[in-house]
Structure 1
Amino acid sequence: MGTYGQDWSSYQSAAPDTSGLSFAFVKVTQGLTYTNPVWTDQRDHARAAGLVVGYYHYPEMGNAMAAEADRFLSLAQPQNGELVCLDWEGYDAENESVPKADQLSYKEAWLRYVKGKLPHNAVGLYCNADYWNNVDTTGYFQDFLWIATAGLPAGQPGVNADWLFHQYSDDGTDQDFCHLGSTAELRSWATAFAPPAGPAWPGEYLRLQTPMLHDGNVRTWQQQMHDRGWPLGVDGWYGQQSQTVCRQFQQEKGLTVDGIVGPATWAASWNDPVT
């Protein structure tokens, strides 16, 4: 019992096959200068397929932790229910000269710093069994642990730890397993970190129409968008200005761009990060 996913970087296509998958982790950044050139396409592809989406950063641990984390966060901007992860490994040229004690300090600091910036998202740690057993000394992984042990069966990472994800194959496309039993269960776990929801969707589609829609539901939504910083008057009339702001907001949040405040747009108006 469990669910399956993959982790994607520029080695994969902009739209990998999502058949049978429940989740996908997308590499966004490395160090202070590298950005995965297809990460936004991969993110949008995973969202469109209904996957639980995660984002990860590969560090170059000789750099200032906060500078790397801030750059990653400025790009990733996860929505509620999306995951964030540090890809903690140091076998490459950028990290091999960094003392293991400093690598450990980087890991501890990054997880705490990013969690402070994203208190309503699950923040976790990816590492292989060697790093977990021989470089880590604290057992600290914040909200979830993702262990890599290629060659062991899915769901048997071979470590004594409370893991959530297991990368069990890295043959071209990295294959991952989650011990939660369904996509819905994983999504429920991920969204549990979100802040309390705003008011429930009122059951009315707010749209531009004739005669023009005018009521308290429109006013409530306009007030929320105004409070988020959008240039929108609060008068209860769903006119051209409301439709324009709605469409721009939907575009920004990766929603269907139709200018209509339905359930998804209503929820995002309260729950998605302010950008």
Structure 2
Amino acid sequence: MTSRADVSGKAALVTGAAAGIGREVAAELVRRGARVVGVDRDAEPLEALRTELDDAPGRFLPYELDLRDVGAYAALLGFVERELGGLDILANVAGITRWKQWHEVTLDDWEQIIEVNARAVLFLTQQAVPLLAKDGGGAVISIASIAGKGFRRTSSVAYAGSKAAVIAMSRVLSSALAPMNIRVNCLCPGPVETGFLAEGMRNFSDRSGDSADIEHEQWLAQVPLRRAAEPIDIADLVCFLAADTGRCITGQAWNVDGGMVFD
């Protein structure tokens, strides 16, 4: 771990908590003493994570939900309030993509990607604001991507569009929610060693005829630090921004990409 930002005792809601970055964000918050409701549409890995975190300083509560069901958000936040007593941290991590070239993207691809990656961020944040403001404010941290800043080798134009929306919404919300002492930031990862990246390398391999390992090497050759991030690198920064260490930071889109983009 690269930082020890103190989130002990804080109440957090993390989406996409069953796998990848979302799983690590939820787990690291619990390891540091936070109480976390982890949301995903896949119940089994959530239960496995709860078992794994049984002896951690914090507490993990799984909640099965498909984030495309906006009408179910009120029940989710009611559960958070009952079980955690309030909310200090909202981490919008859930995300999906389709590994397709621009002319292959279908209307169904577009709608599903936008629904999970962008629409859920707006409407879950919107409904969580009263709970975040209730005890004097908190932090909203959403996962965007360098794809949302125009990185060319992205999974799809729809994914890039959804992540650009997260960046823009985070900036607008940071101003709108500042009077309530709610800080809003987003993170823009480059390649992160998850199943998401592995799927992409297999996809590029199918297109090029090169092995997935070669595709992975070529991808990392674009990174000045010559390595992909690990999920803990993202989780560390989430904790930093959620804790008092981030008390004066809002409206920012943080790159976690080994130096691939500058803006």
Into which bin does the TM-score normalised by the smaller protein fall?
0.3 to 0.5
For the pair shown, the structure with the greater C-alpha radius of gyration is: 1
- Which structure features the higher share of helix residues? 2
- Please give the TM-score of this superposition, normalised by the length of structure 1: 0.39
- Pick 1 or 2: higher relative contact order, CA cutoff 8 A, min separation 6: 2
